[in-house]
C-alpha cells in the first residue's frame, strides 16, 4: 500500500464531519487523511469552497471505503454500540 496513490473517497463540508468520517474509515481498517484548503483550515470555514475537505484513501482501498461510506449514509452503523448497556442498579 506504500506505493498506492491517494484518491478522494468523498468531499465533505466542514472539518468536524470530515474527522468523524476519517475515524469511521480508520475503524474499518482503511487508512485515511484529510485534505483541505489552507485558508479554510486557518479560519475554520465550514461552508463554501474553502470549507470543503477531501477524505483521501489509498487507491487500493477506494472501493472498500466507498462501500463503508454507502453503509454509513444508509444508516447501517446506527445503533451499534461497543459498550454493553449498564443496568441502573449498578450505579
Per-residue confidence (pLDDT) for residue 38, from 0 to 100: 47
User: How far is residue 29's CA from residue 65's CA, in Å, rounded to a whole number?
Assistant: 9
**Facing residues of 53 across strands?**
12, 36
Q: Give tens-digit pLDDT for 8-63.
A: 999 988 888 899 999 999 999 999 999 976 444 455 555 555 678 899 999 999 99
Residue 78 lies in a domain: no
Task: State mean pLDDT over 56-84.
Answer: 87
Residue 51 lies in a domain: yes
Per-residue confidence (pLDDT) for residue 81, from 0 to 100: 61
Per-residue confidence (pLDDT) for residue 67, from 0 to 100: 97
Residue 47 lies in a domain: yes
The total number of structural domains that make up the chain: 1
Residue 85 lies in a domain: no
The overall longest dimension of the chain from CA atoms, in Å, is 54
Residue 91 lies in a domain: no
Q: Which domain holds residue 35?
A: 8-69
Residue 25 lies in a domain: yes
Amino acid at each position: 500500500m506504500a506505493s498506492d496513490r491517494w484518491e478522494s473517497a468523498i468531499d465533505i463540508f466542514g472539518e468536524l464531519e470530515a474527522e468523524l468520517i476519517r475515524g469511521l474509515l480508520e475503524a474499518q481498517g482503511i487508512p485515511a487523511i484529510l485534505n483541505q484548503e489552507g485558508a479554510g483550515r486557518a479560519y475554520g470555514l465550514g461552508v463554501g469552497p474553502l470549507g470543503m475537505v477531501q477524505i483521501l484513501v489509498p487507491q487500493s482501498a477506494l472501493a472498500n471505503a466507498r462501500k463503508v461510506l454507502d453503509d454509513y449514509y444508509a444508516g447501517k452503523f446506527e445503533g451499534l454500540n461497543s459498550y454493553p448497556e449498564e443496568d441502573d442498579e449498578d450505579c
